[in-house]
Amino acid sequence: MAKYKNNDKGSYHSMDFVLTDTLCVQMYEDTWSRKEWKDTPYFALEEKLVRIIVYTELYAEYSHQYYLQLEERWRKEAIIKQQEIEKQEAIEKEQKEVEKLILTAENFYRAQKIESLKSKIFPTSRYKT
């Protein structure tokens, strides 16, 4: 382990990085959270090695399970998103088919009106449809 010590030599204030006789092990779980073990006046770090190893193994298992759950959640979200896309595509397809059916019905209705009008104007037409 090391620490910073004020350096009063010279006209500018500065700090020197000075090594100490204290051994320290740090484990960063994320950016803000960390676990630290170091030599103390009562216990040497060597006496804490078993705890450090157990903690590291437990944290590794926890981290592994966490990421497995995270990947599973991402997979489920992707499936749900794909289903929503397919549902929206089916709705759009059905709307186009309904519009096409309405257009066909309108054309059929117009054709009937034209046929009716034609039969009224030309009652004895030699052309039959």
CA dihedral of 80, 85, 87, 90, whole degrees rounded to 10: -160
The alpha carbons of the chain give a radius of gyration, in whole angstroms, of 41
Q: Which has more confidence, 22 or 68?
A: 68
Give the Cα separation of 17 and 6 in Å (integer). 9
Spatial distance between the Cα atoms of 24 and 1, rounded to a whole number of angstroms: 6
* Structure confidence at residue 92 (pLDDT): 97
Task: Kindly list the domain boundaries of the chain, sorted by start residue.
Answer: 2-121
87-120 confidence digits (pLDDT tens): 999 999 999 999 999 999 999 999 999 988 888 8
Check residue 29 and give its pLDDT.
77
- Give the pLDDT confidence of 29-64 residue by residue, as tens digits: 777 788 888 888 888 888 889 999 999 999 999 999
3-state DSSP assignment of residue 4: strand
CA 101 to mean position of chain CA atoms:
41
The pLDDT value given to residue 9: 67
Instruction: Say if pTM beats, i.e. exceeds, 0.75.
Output: no
Question: What whole-number distance in Å separates Cα of residue 96 and Cα of residue 106?
Answer: 15
The answer for residues whose C-beta is within 8 angstroms of residue 38's C-beta and 6 or more apart is: 1, 22, 23, 24, 25, 45
pLDDT at 82 over 60: yes
Partners of 28 in beta bridges = 34
Beta carbons within 8 Å of 124's beta carbon, 6+ residues apart? none
